[in-house]
């Protein structure tokens, strides 16, 4: 297998990413430019950027691999990831933009008037962001190993370097243009080879894909199968099997993906860049269409993989299906070109998601950690300077962790990151936006219960000792959302009721601000 197509693809994507980032660099001047692109990003551009950062390697590579191994029941993953934006549209998008916040900790402090809640939110943003960044760096290494035979560390270092250059130079301005470009690149990189592969399959006259390649009861209970090998090992149990445990896993997954989207820091921060709440709603509608269009394509690879590449499932290499299928089906120079195209899309997936996460984490660290430490040390470190220092920390810490722990199945943390977000920021946003009675004590209680429960599940799942564990304890910890989300909501509600004398004095005024349409505000002005 020639490494030339992969090398050319990765080089072109890297150069294009840096070149497009210079557009934002020329426009970025103020702190608001770096944090939220001065709240001037229009719905079409913003929706493309959201699609670019949201469609990570888990979507580009992992969905096809899961469908190859476990079949159609794995479609719950893309369905859940897309439907999460419907929940976000109905409950959160417009009010969150009207809050005027830069970050989730900003919103929490403005709504509840509590520095303690802000610090808790800062910790959670950083934890979720780093949890999500780890598999991006590790997956980039796996992609370069598969495509060009490079050492595993090279992919992580390349992604970290390119992301740092774009984020520190132009902030949100640069990343917006880059991520919008990368969405359309990823869509093209999947769509064109899929069309060619389908045409070849029709011409071959081969029978349709086998309904099942593996017995879920035999293969699914090993959560460490292929640990650390790439995005397709994100999830510990399959769906659709017999028994109460499989049913629980299915419902828990649905809850995590439906509600976790609104709590992902790199998703939420993009809604602060819209001009107003109405634009935030329009952005979300367009995102639903873009995601729906994209997620039609990975099942094609999964189905054709059952016809042409069943050995990848048996060999534990299902996560490389999208990268290897063009050569297996087409071959020759045409296969090399198609392989280069999907490699470019995969590398763009790592760059775009990592950039969004770096922006989200850097924004929080710059405001709440780097800036405060600089002021305490007598240094005037704030604004853009603090953001740039924070961006270096935001990228280097997970990159070093990914390089130092290459054998750990950290990639599965992406699925669990949704559970953590659903168990923490989802209750905070829903109750903070729609219930006047939320108190700081209630918010802290819910964040502690939801974050503690789902966080403990993450730690247990990533431990080597969790490999091969079966039974209800392993199932509950492998998919914690079904119990951690309700308990977080319940804790916030009960403790807020018990402390209702401490509802913030400005709660009514803030609620009016969240729910008053912009045209009403203009009439009053």
pLDDT at 380: 59
Give every CB contact of residue 98 below 8 A, 6+ residues apart in sequence. Answer: 276, 277, 513, 514, 515, 516, 518
Q: What is the pLDDT of residue 468?
A: 64
In this predicted structure, what is the pLDDT of residue 371?
67
| pLDDT value for 436 | 94
pTM: 0.85
- The label of the residue with tokens 């499989």 reads 246
Token pair for 334? 């045409």
For each of the domains in the chain, give its residue range(s) and CATH number, in order of start. Answer: 4-411 (1.20.1730.10)
Alpha-carbon dihedral angle through residues 422, 270, 35, 188, given to the nearest 10 degrees: 120
Of 81, 104, 67, 14, the C-alpha closest to 232 is 67
Look at the block and give the residue holding tokens 């120079």. Answer: 333
CA–CA dist 61, 59 (Å, integer): 6
Task: Compute the distance between CA of residue 105 and CA of residue 488 in angstroms, rounded to an integer.
Answer: 18
Would you call 499 helix, strand, or coil by DSSP?
coil
Which structure tokens are listed for 399? Answer: 């990159």
Number of residues that make up the chain: 525
Q: In angstroms, rounded to a whole number, what is the distance separating the alpha carbons of residues 411 and 186? A: 20
The conformational region for residue 274 under phi > 0 = left, psi -120 to 50 = alpha, else beta, is beta
Res 522: pLDDT: 46
Contact by Cβ (8 Å): 96, 430? no
10-residue mean pLDDT profile of the chain (525 residues): values are 82 90 67 71 90 86 86 86 90 88 88 94 93 84 80 88 85 84 95 94 75 47 32 46 78 91 87 84 92 94 90 79 90 90 91 90 86 62 79 92 67 78 95 95 97 90 71 87 96 96 91 84 47
Nearest Cα to Cα of residue 135 among 65, 238, 51, 228: 228
């Amino acid at each position: 297998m020639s490494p030339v197509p992969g090398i050319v693809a990765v080089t072109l994507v890297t150069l294009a990413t840096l070149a497009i980032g210079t557009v934002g660099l020329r426009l970025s001047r103020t702190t608001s430019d770096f944090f939220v692109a001065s709240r001037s990003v229009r719905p079409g551009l913003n929706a493309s950027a959201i699609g670019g950062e949201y469609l990570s390697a888990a979507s580009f590579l992992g969905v096809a691999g899961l469908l190859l191994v476990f079949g159609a029941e794995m479609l719950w993953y893309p369905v859940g990831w897309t439907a999460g934006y419907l929940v976000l549209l109905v409950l959160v998008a417009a009010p969150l933009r009207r809050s005027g916040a830069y970050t989730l900790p900003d919103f929490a402090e403005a709504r509840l008037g509590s520095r303690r809640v802000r610090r808790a939110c800062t910790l959670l943003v950083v934890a979720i962001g780093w949890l999500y960044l780890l598999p991006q760096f590790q997956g980039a290494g796996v992609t370069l190993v598969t495509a060009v035979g490079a050492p595993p560390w090279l992919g992580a270092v390349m992604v970290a370097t390119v992301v740092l250059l774009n984020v520190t130079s132009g902030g949100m301005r640069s990343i917006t243009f880059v991520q919008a470009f990368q969405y359309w690149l990823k869509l093209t990189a999947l769509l064109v080879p899929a069309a060619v592969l389908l045409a070849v399959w029709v011409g071959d006259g081969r029978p349709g894909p086998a309904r099942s390649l593996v017995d879920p009861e035999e293969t699914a209970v090993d959560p460490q199968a292929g640990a650390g090998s790439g995005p397709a090992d994100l999830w510990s149990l399959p769906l659709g099997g017999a028994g109460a445990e499989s049913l629980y896993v299915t419902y828990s997954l649905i809850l995590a993906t439906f509600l976790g989207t609104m709590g992902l820091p790199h998703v939420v921060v993009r809604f602060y860049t819209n001009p107003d709440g109405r634009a935030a709603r329009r952005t979300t509608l367009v995102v639903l269409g873009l995601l729906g269009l994209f997620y039609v394509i990975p099942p094609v690879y999964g189905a054709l993989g059952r016809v042409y590449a069943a050995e990848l499932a048996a060999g534990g290499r299902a996560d490389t299906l999208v990268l290897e299928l063009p050569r297996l089906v087409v071959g020759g120079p045409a296969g090399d070109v198609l392989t280069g195209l999907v490699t470019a899309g995969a590398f763009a997936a790592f760059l775009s998601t990592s950039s969004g996460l770096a922006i989200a984490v850097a924004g929080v660290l710059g405001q709440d950690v780097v800036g405060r430490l600089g002021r305490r040390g007598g240094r005037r470190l704030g604004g853009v300077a603090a953001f740039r220092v924070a961006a270096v920390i935001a990228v280097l810490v997970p990159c070093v962790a990914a390089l130092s722990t290459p054998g750990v199945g950290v990639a599965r943390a992406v699925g669990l990151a949704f559970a953590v977000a659903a168990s923490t920021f989802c209750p905070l946003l829903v109750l903070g936006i729609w219930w006047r009675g939320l108190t700081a004590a209630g918010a802290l209680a819910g964040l502690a219960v939801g974050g503690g429960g789902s966080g403990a599940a993450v730690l247990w799942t990533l431990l080597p000792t969790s490999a091969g564990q079966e039974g209800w304890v392993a199932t509950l910890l492998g998919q914690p959302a079904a119990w951690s989300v309700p308990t977080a909501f319940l804790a916030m509600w009960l403790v807020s009721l018990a402390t209702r004398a401490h509802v913030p004095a400005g709660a009514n005024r803030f609620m009016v601000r969240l729910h008053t349409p912009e045209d009403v505000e203009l009439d009053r002005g």
